[in-house]
Amino acid sequence: MRRYKVEGHDILVAHTKSGFHAISNQCPHDIIGLDLGCLEGEVVRCSLHGSRFNLTTGEVMNPPADESVRVYPLQIEDGVVMVEIGKYLDK
Ligand code: FES
């Protein structure tokens, strides 16, 4: 996992067995970066209180967070991961 801050967007890019994923880096429960958490397969776990988020859908999987995170579309061109920050998929 790696965090990128671009044009006001705080984005977590994760590389898993299924490929690359880009989601909002901020845990909706409190102000902490998900990049400080753990990658567990296709899920990221927040380091502060343990909520988990699906990297593909942004869906929150357990409390205490009760909101999903944004998912950013991405594509890979010539080995470069490109995240579309102008578009995001609200969940
Ligand atoms: S800050 Fe992430 S679950 Fe509480």
What residue segments make up the domains of the chain, in order of their start? 2-83
Fold of 2-83: Rieske Iron-sulfur Protein (2.102.10)
Tell me how far the alpha carbon of residue 44 lies from the centroid of ligand 1, in angstroms: 12
Per-residue pLDDT of 34-90, as tens digits, reads 999 999 999 999 999 999 999 999 999 999 999 999 999 999 999 999 999 886 665
Which residue, among 56, 55, 57, has the nearest Cα to 37 in the 3D structure?
A: 55
**Atom number of ligand 1 nearest to Cα 46:** 2
End-to-end CA distance of the chain: 21
Looking at the DSSP assignment, which residues form a beta bridge with residue 82? 75
Pocket of ligand 1 (CB under 6 A): 27, 29-30, 32, 46, 48-49, 51, 64-65
Tell me how far the alpha carbon of residue 41 lies from the centroid of ligand 1, in angstroms: 19
pLDDT of residue 84: 92
pLDDT of residue 88: 66
pLDDT of residue 37: 98
Tell me how far the alpha carbon of residue 80 lies from the centroid of ligand 1, in angstroms: 31
CA–CA gap between residue 17 and residue 42 (Å, rounded) = 8
pLDDT of residue 31: 85
pLDDT of residue 86: 81
